[in-house]
A and B are shown apart, each in its own frame.
Chain A
């Protein structure tokens, strides 16, 4: 079974600075998807960014980018120019590739709480 590990329970960053959240995962599959979700105090789960394992290029969404290292099974999230609204719990998640008969289930890490200091 796949597992996702977020080794940083809490992180903090100064406003306008850059922060990197770590995520590692364990799988024997070759094709899969990785996601970062943001959960602000409202508790809504908001998709931040997604990465397909078959793509070598790292995904980018505005101030959010990932460093995907497939061989190392690492998937870190970099937030540039941090804003107060970025303060939230961040979850890393894994999903199998359906074309290989995988499950649609998202496997989540336990989360990293990000604090942004003004």
Chain B
């Protein structure tokens, strides 16, 4: 089944304890992205990757890191989480077909609580 998976789905942690949220897709998509969703603010892009070893900042990158060593994986790293990073996180991927394609497919979401 074509899908984007995220782990963990739920995570409670404490301020300053490094964590990684994994994202994996099995559709051979070039483009991957991380969003966070907060009440009243909608979804905002954190980081994105056009292909392996190519990453760039989105609209709200502060406090986050990413890497793209393999095409299928795009982990999100919070090196020193703070309570303002409590949010619902989505990973998404899309094919970079020439021209007019590129619908983004979303993972199931990771709910993070930082105490």
Interface, chain A (partner B; CB < 8 A): 33, 35, 37, 42-47, 50, 52, 91, 95, 97-99, 104-106, 108-111
Contact = CB atoms under 8 A, between A and B. Distances in A.
B41 A110 contact: yes
B99 A104 contact: no
Contact of B45 (A33, A42, A106): A106
Nearest to B32: A104
Interface string B10-29: 00000000000000000000
A37 B100 CA distance: 19
Nearest to B94: A104
Interface of B, helix, strand, loop or mixed by DSSP: strand
Interface of B: 31, 33, 35, 40-45, 48, 50, 58-59, 88, 90, 92, 94, 96, 98-100, 102-106, 108-109, 111
A43 B105 contact: no
A106 B43 contact: yes
